[in-house]
Chains A and B, each alone.
Chain A
Amino acid sequence: MSVESQLLRFTTAGSVDDGKSTLIGRLLYEAKGVYEDQLASVRNSSVNRSTGPIDFSLLTDGLRAEREQGITIDVAYRYAATPRRKFIIADTPGHEQYTRNMATGASTADLAIVLIDARKGVLVQSRRHAFITALLGIRYVAVAVNKMDLVDFREDVFRRIETEFLAYANSVGLKNVAFFPISALEGDNITEKSARTPWYQGTPLLEHLETVDLGEGHNFTDLRFPVQYVNRPTLDFRGYTGQLASGILRPGQTVMTLPSGRITKVKSLPSFDGDLAEAYPPMSVTVCLEDEVDISRGDMLVDPARVPHVSRRFAAKLVWMHETPGEAGRDYLLKHTTQTVRAQIARIRHRIDINTLAEQPANKLELNEIASIQIETRRPLFFDAYAQNRTTGAFILIDAITNATVAAGMIEESTADSLEPLQLGSLEFSGETEATVTPAERYKRAGHYPATVWLTARQELAGMLERKLFDLGCSVHVLADDRESHLLPELARVLNSAGLIAICSIASPDQTEARRAQQLAGDTRFLLVDPQQLPVKDEEASEVLMKMLEDRGVLRRKERFEVGEGI
């Protein structure tokens, strides 16, 4: 193995007792990854559930409870190397109770070996694991039809399983599926082609693992650099550290910082070994920027021409991993890249029956269930669909009280449309730059001052107020928070500086954005009404608001009547 050899991370999957651990033990043994003293301790072990001289599963089932119960409980990570590749292997449990540990092992894998007991065929648990494999976006699947020794190496048994599994694989969107007739116990088609399967034309399993084309395996186009930690050893040095999720970083390159939307350039990529000319995933690097911008952990550097979704709401697939059921409306902590935010499951869209793939209504998520849900977070996240980006599309949910990791999530799409890249990028330039047209001139033409009205959970009222003001001859526009609530303050400011009245209609009572909008608009031009104080009837409420706008001098009473009466 050369220092430059490539790394393949793979995992096992499949139902309990299908032979996963035995296979990994066998692979390690054949790849000379087992030391004599380790083998001797397995040979001398009081337990041997296999019919052979060595119970290979004992090489990975390293916990007492596992050896006692004869099952795998938690993932074992093992390592092997051949002249061609280096392998990180996750041997996962098949038992349904430990599905979360299977998901743990599979989450970092490039390839999954799905084992199927030739005698039993495709079981519910084989499907569950295949489904999770697909959800986790594992690119390659090797289906090892195991225990062929117990079915006399019959081709028809193998083909039947192949057909059945392929149908399921297709329906869950698994690609690159290869099949291998093996005996983990006796070593058939593991490292060498077996003489007992003359009908099998393919390669042995290990050769497949050594040669499966990993390509470059990374997205080099869409820059995503989640800031992990700000390194400030001296006043003169400010480095943003993190691991590149995708894209390339080079000195001189233009980047946008999120959530601020500011544009700046990469100054340098300093490292212990000198400045780097380029950084690419999955490198961990330090970035220095040209401008003094306020960036902290959880922010993200992105390519201004290819921005991620920015939203507080999105749809996701969830694997529930805790005994306490998941419920809509409960508070969780959501960790996504380097951000941890408060979040709720806004809605459970449906649960998925992994056997039939039917979508079923559900109001709770039980242990090991998979569901399609909608998430709402307190602060906006910067994300891509998991299918596009395994780093910026993934998150976990943490129980806010017990601190347990309760779910793994894969983002499907943003519920609200994402802004077009250019619009977001141009926010940077939207300030009062060259005042060729003065606010006074705008006022004269519009007949009113600009202002921002902030309304919480009163969508209808927002529309009614807009209509009233418009009918008065005012320039007015409603910004609803499906336009990304964290951008509302900025958008409102743009409208204000163009002389308009902006009505921000927002669903969540979170005051963070309101405060920012107030700062941007200025106190007198900002109208925030406590929802409790406002009449419930929209008609009455709109009148109260009109009055307040007049009182603040935004609308001139006289003109209101003039224009109003004219209609």
Chain B
Amino acid sequence: MESRVLSHLRALEAESIHILREVVAEFSNPVMLYSVGKDSSVMMRLAQKAFHPARIPFPVLHVDTGYKFKEMYEFRDNLAKELGLNLIVYANQAALDAGANPFTLGTQKCCAQLKTRALLDALAAGGYDAAFGGARRDEEKSRAKERIYSFRDKFGQWDPKNQRPELWNVYNAKIEKGETIRVFPLSNWTELDIWRYIELEKIPIVPLYFAKEREMLVRGNSIIPLEHNYPIQIGEKPEMVKVRMRSLGCTYCTGAIRSEAETLPQLMEELVQFKRSERENRIIDHDTEGSMEIKKREGYF
């Protein structure tokens, strides 16, 4: 008899689809946070699967800091067209107009205004009661602590010491007006699972993930992309380096890594050899010990 054991990727897929449907069935106004990265791409495919043959039945929100890569904007707009997404782009325009940028504000303040504040404002503006995020528990140690349905109070704050118990796959969706639930359908996926699934499902992703000769600024251990008029110091000179991005954020805060991986199999092989975590090149997580937890408490994803 043929075996009826789901492979771990298919088991993860089934779990995520269950979560997506549960939210659509129980909340009145859910939204999906879309960051254009690899995790968002996987989450989007899972949403297509969950509601096939219907279109994705909720809006997709991109909180745009204005400091993303050009290739990301192109990719986003193409995908929205192709899938017929109800794409909402939201930026903290007031802060941007006031000249907010990571170079002068510093990464923490910049993130607080252009990401956290913008996100909270966008959620309030849309009146959303649930928001899907593509965060994974294996990314960072405070995320490892978070529930699949993560309760947020009226100010979008997370209280890690007082989370609702969450048993089996029976999720508690009860909230009062103004409170929200952040939902993480990819909680149990690892970075490698994401890549394997992208390969298995042939999911399109932003080309920045693959190695290519790019014009970069090499400063010590950091390899910095040069978009958005990055302030170059005297004596520094951009050079062509073969690099790729391991995770995608804003240009300045996403460091590149030297790599030869031009295809998915090469990329995964590289990943298995990696001795350092994917967020290591993210400047924001390391500003201070436990900085992710602090940001999450304040409402960050």
The chain A residue sitting closest to B200, CB to CB, is A3
- Nearest CB of B to A175, in Å: 20
Cβ-defined contact, A79 with B190, below 8 A: yes
Whether A237 is near chain B, meaning CB under 8 Å from some CB there, is yes
A383-429 CB contacts (< 8 Å) to partner B: 390-391, 394-396, 398, 403-405, 408
Whether A78 is near chain B, meaning CB under 8 Å from some CB there, is yes
> Which residues in B have their C-beta under 8 angstroms from that of A208?
none
Knowing A104-B167, A272-B48, say if A216 contacts B4 (CB, 8 Å): yes
Knowing A35-B280, A86-B8, say if A271 contacts B52 (CB, 8 Å): yes
> Which residues in A have their C-beta under 8 angstroms from that of B55?
233
A110-153 CB contacts (< 8 Å) to partner B: none
Whether B170 is near chain A, meaning CB under 8 Å from some CB there, is yes
Whether B163 is near chain A, meaning CB under 8 Å from some CB there, is yes
Whether A522 is near chain B, meaning CB under 8 Å from some CB there, is no
Of the four ranges (under 10, 10 to 19, 20 to 34, 35 or more), the interface on chain A belongs to 35 or more
- Nearest CB of B to A337, in Å: 8
Contact for B138 among A79, A284, A408, CB less than 8 A? A79
Cβ-defined contact, A408 with B167, below 8 A: yes
Knowing A76-B144, A216-B3, say if A104 contacts B166 (CB, 8 Å): yes
A83–B53 CA distance with the chains assembled, in angstroms: 37
> Which residues in B have their C-beta under 8 angstroms from that of A156?
none
> Which residues in B have their C-beta under 8 angstroms from that of A408?
165, 167
> Which residues in A have their C-beta under 8 angstroms from that of B137?
77-79
Cβ-defined contact, A390 with B142, below 8 A: no
Whether A548 is near chain B, meaning CB under 8 Å from some CB there, is no
Among the listed stretches A61-69, A183-191, A358-366, A444-452, which one makes contact with chain B, having 4 or more residues with CB under 8 Å of it? A61-69
Contact for A284 among B50, B147, B166, B187, CB less than 8 A? B50
Proximity bits, A267-308, B CB within 8 Å = 1, else 0: 000111100000010111010000000000100000000000
Cβ-defined contact, A272 with B25, below 8 A: no
Contact for B14 among A63, A74, A282, CB less than 8 A? A282
Residue positions of A touching B, CB distance < 8 A: 3-7, 35-38, 41, 45, 59-60, 62-65, 67, 73-79, 81, 86, 88, 100-101, 103-104, 107-108, 216-218, 220, 228-229, 231-233, 237, 239, 241-243, 248, 270-273, 280, 282-284, 286, 297, 321, 333, 335-338, 390-391, 394-396, 398, 403-405, 408
- Given A7-B11, A241-B51; 4 other pairs, CB 8 A cutoff: A63-B293, A77-B144, A79-B137, A408-B165
20 A-B contact pairs sorted by A residue (CB < 8 Å): A5-B8, A35-B277, A38-B277, A45-B289, A59-B141, A62-B141, A63-B145, A65-B161, A101-B165, A107-B167, A218-B4, A220-B4, A229-B25, A233-B54, A270-B52, A337-B170, A398-B174, A403-B174, A403-B175, A408-B167
Residue positions of B touching A, CB distance < 8 A: 3-15, 17-18, 21-22, 24-25, 48-55, 137-138, 140-145, 147, 160-161, 163-170, 172, 174-176, 187-188, 190, 192, 196, 200, 274-277, 280, 289-290, 293
